[in-house]
Amino acid sequence: MLPHSYPFDPSYGHDFDSLLAVGTPDEPPGFVEFWKRRYERARSVDPSPRLGPHQASRRGWKIRDLSFTSTGETSINGWLLIPESGEVRRGFVVSHGYGGRDAPDFHLPFKDAALLFPCSRGLGRSRHPSLPSDPGNHVIHGISDPEQYLLGNCVEDLWTAASALLNLFPEVEGHLGFLGISFGGGTGAMAMPWDDRFQRAHFNVPSFGNQPLRLELPTTGSGASVQRLYQKRPEILETLLFHDAAIAARHIRIPVHGAYALFDPMVAPPGQFSIHNSLGVPGSCFPLTAGHHPYPGQLEEDRRLLREIDTFFQDL
């Protein structure tokens, strides 16, 4: 057990073997139709990607601002990295955690790829006056109606990000990957089953897995806000089940590499492993000592993970 000052056990009494036995909630009727309908709506959007001028170069990457249009005519903003030299052979959509992002990730090893870093609506560069930007309010916005829940819109932003990237680099069609961490890993798990333009995906400490468990387990993350609302309005479970990353993972048919934490005070490990255990095809599992919490040896563990991710996407 890692030393900590949380008022609960962030391993939730589990070890690796017991986490591999965590199940998945029952799928609500109409789940597949719900997501396929949303996907078709997102695919009908012309993303009209808009590139800013070349800002600078860093670690072999050219940096460009990028904006595109998502569903509801929402403008999504982020960054595009392209290699300073060589051809673009692959493409990646890279999503972020609930803290948003203030810069691209320059450490990724994909030197023959175009990397799109979109900020999901309401967060980071895609803040909007009508949407909350703090995780506690963002995660419950529109939760009364599955069709209006903000998380579903954020999933649509990933699909329109793929459309924008393929618009700019049609040569990467058939060679498109996804990486998402925490919030972005969970929304990515909801997005991947329905979009056959992606060939491979990596989820890092993904959120929103096994929503019934997420409502029960103590947390310091966005789930605490959902729990408080659920105590007053238990009917929101219907919306949450339609936005359960573990239920969605049952329908994923592409190779998935996941990094799942054994100790995590913000995204409970049973929810993370529920996603892994539910995958429609066998997935690769990299067990992390902890998520959302520092620990000895973290830098070396991150290096090993990055090497695995590089190998996993080599055939993309």
- pLDDT tens sequence across 7-66: 999 999 999 999 999 999 999 999 999 999 999 999 999 999 999 988 789 999 999 999
Residue ranges of the chain whose pLDDT lies below 50: none
Q: What is the structure's pLDDT at 53?
A: 87
To 5 degrees, how large is the angle CA 160–CA 143–CA 92?
Answer: 25
Residues with Cβ within 8 Å of 196's Cβ and at least 6 positions away in sequence, in order, are none
Rounded to the nearest 5°, which phi and psi values hold at 58?
-150, 130
Q: Which of 204, 186, 180, 205 is nearest to 265 (CA)?
A: 205
CATH class for domain 16-312? alpha beta
Given CA atoms 158, 159, 160, 164 in this order, what sign does their dihedral have? Answer: positive
Kindly report the pTM of this predicted structure.
0.97
Q: For residue range 66-84, what is the model confidence (pLDDT) as tens digits?
A: 999 999 999 999 999 999 9
Contact present, 238 and 210 (Cβ < 8 Å)? no
Q: What is the structure's pLDDT at 196?
A: 98
Q: What is the structure's pLDDT at 1?
A: 80
Contact present, 31 and 247 (Cβ < 8 Å)? yes
Burial class (CB within 10 angstroms; exposed 0-12, middle 13-18, buried 19+) of 250: middle
Q: What is the structure's pLDDT at 254?
A: 98
Integer-rounded Cα Rg, in Å, for the chain is 18
